[in-house]
Amino acid sequence: MWYKLAQSMKKTTVYRRPMGENLFEEEFTVEALSHMGNPLERLSRRVDFEMFRPILEDALLTKEVKSAAGRKPIDVVLMFKVIFLQRYYGLGDHQIQYQIIDRTSFRQFLGIHTVAEVPDEKTVWACKNRLSQDGTFDRLFDKFRSYLDSLGLSFNEGKIIDATFVEAPRQRNTREENKQIKEGNGKALWQPEDGDSEKEKERKAHKRAHKDIDARWTKKRGENHYGYKDYVKADKKTKLIEKYHTTDASVHDSNVIAPLIEEKDKGQDLWLDAGYVGKEDVVTECGMIPIICEKGYKNHPLTDEQKKCNREKSHTRCLVEHIFGFVEGAMNGSFVRSIGIIRAKASTALNCLVYNIFRYEQLCRCQPAIIEKGLASVQG
């Protein structure tokens, strides 16, 4: 048997005779992708990324240009679109550079025609790191939300709040180190001391740079989680994210309600899961009407009537799970590859922005009636 298999592997495969080179091959490829339904092409038709240029230039073009000589900086909108692709497809810095070179659809979306125009992985990392440090992704999210509001896509028909875990790289610390981190003294760890050699100082600096003193452990339904929590408030009708918040994983869901509620939300219904039982007063104080799934307890299970009521509430509340499903499934956004809560917050902002952009395109394509209703409310 193995002898026959080995012999079959030695056979030369006969392929089709290659056709001659075609000068219009790239155009034919783009046309074929468009015919099959290129999602990035659809996105480019709906969203003008130039709306983000002023914010990006303020964040990235901070150095005074003293001379016209030298290589020109890479366009800021192009760099943001690279980061956008990287986040949506869950790619690392090296992989996004490779995929831009390899994929026609990526180059078409970016407006790149030659390999020389592709940003290298170090440039991508430096740009993303800079945007993560000063809240630029938050401002970009607010800019796109203002655009959605101008289209009337913020309906006052109810909101939904929920949270999800974002796993972080797990740390290997001693018990004493973990104790200090939990007490909020993590910054004092791995600091150079008098008498340390240069090599020891470098070792401590390297170790400190790879230690996340902001992430925390927690347990839910018997599973341990380490990292952070992302909270979102979504519009019930459009499933667009309107506000978000990030904490360490140890914070209970029910303790993050007020930071997500805005003045314009007052008087609307707010759908919440059973984890928010007992927080009805907090929701009421914020001016919203709580609709919370009921919770069963030991020796006090839910009645059939309560179960029926929960099913009715879940028809609406579960819509927020579609958001988490997209972020965690399509975008691979259920974990962070970075260290510290500052970058974790920036990752949340970028996730929410990328989701909203794709959700807006989906609404335009699949639910045009909602877009028309929103425009009518603005114009009327």
List pLDDT tens digits, range 317-345: 999 999 999 998 888 778 888 888 999 99
- 301 in any annotated domain: yes
* Res. 36: pLDDT tops 90: no
| CA nearest to 290, candidates 305, 268, 315 | 268
Contact by Cβ (8 Å): 346, 137: yes
- At 169 the pLDDT is 87
| CA nearest to 232, candidates 367, 371, 328 | 328
- 109 in any annotated domain: yes
- 68 in any annotated domain: no
Q: Are residues 127 and 177 in the same domain?
A: no
Cα distance between residue 235 and residue 319, in whole Å: 9
Whichever domain contains 326, its CATH number is 3.30.420
Q: 87, 109, 134: which is the final residue of a domain?
A: 134
Contact by Cβ (8 Å): 246, 165: no
Q: Which residues, at least 6 apart from 372, have a Cβ–Cβ distance to it below 8 Å? A: none
**% of the chain exceeding 90 in pLDDT:** 54
- At 329 the pLDDT is 84
The domain of 97 spans: 25-61+73-134
Q: Are residues 283 and 240 in the same domain?
A: yes
**Mean pLDDT within 194-223:** 87
**pLDDT confidence tier of residue 261, bands split at 50, 70 and 90:** very high
- At 4 the pLDDT is 57
Q: Are residues 310 and 320 in the same domain?
A: yes
**pLDDT confidence tier of residue 136, bands split at 50, 70 and 90:** very high
- At 236 the pLDDT is 93
Q: Are residues 366 and 273 in the same domain?
A: yes
| CA nearest to 161, candidates 69, 234, 81 | 234
- 6 in any annotated domain: no
* Res. 5: pLDDT tops 60: no
- 9 in any annotated domain: no
DSSP-assigned letters across all residues of 262-324: -GGGTTSEEEE-GGGTT-HHHHHHTT-EEEE----BTTBPPPHHHHHHHHHHHHHHTHHHHHH
Domain count along the chain: 3
Amino acid identity, residue 12?
T
Q: Are residues 249 and 312 in the same domain?
A: yes
Q: Are residues 186 and 254 in the same domain?
A: no
**Mean pLDDT within 216-238:** 92
Q: Are residues 190 and 302 in the same domain?
A: no
The residue behind tokens 């979504």 is 234
**Mean pLDDT within 277-288:** 91
Q: Are residues 111 and 199 in the same domain?
A: no
Q: Are residues 269 and 315 in the same domain?
A: yes
**pLDDT confidence tier of residue 126, bands split at 50, 70 and 90:** very high
**pLDDT confidence tier of residue 19, bands split at 50, 70 and 90:** low
- At 67 the pLDDT is 59
* Res. 295: pLDDT tops 90: no
Range of weakest confidence among 18-32, 67-81, 187-201, 353-367: 18-32
- At 288 the pLDDT is 95
- 2 in any annotated domain: no
Cα distance between residue 137 and residue 83, in whole Å: 11
Mean pLDDT, the chain, as a whole number? 87
**pLDDT confidence tier of residue 189, bands split at 50, 70 and 90:** confident
Q: Encode pLDDT of 339-379 as tens digits.
A: 889 999 999 999 999 999 999 999 999 999 999 999 998 88
- At 44 the pLDDT is 92
- 16 in any annotated domain: no
Q: Are residues 198 and 119 in the same domain?
A: no
Going 338 to 344 to 88 to 72, the CA torsion angle's sign is negative
More confident residue, 380 or 316: 316
**Mean pLDDT within 172-196:** 85
Q: Which residues, at least 6 apart from 229, have a Cβ–Cβ distance to it below 8 Å? A: 163, 164, 165, 166, 246, 247, 248, 249, 251, 253, 256
Q: Are residues 233 and 301 in the same domain?
A: yes
Q: Are residues 232 and 286 in the same domain?
A: yes
More confident residue, 63 or 119: 119
Q: Which two tokens stand for residue 60?
A: 């990235």
- 359 in any annotated domain: yes
**% of the chain exceeding 70 in pLDDT:** 91
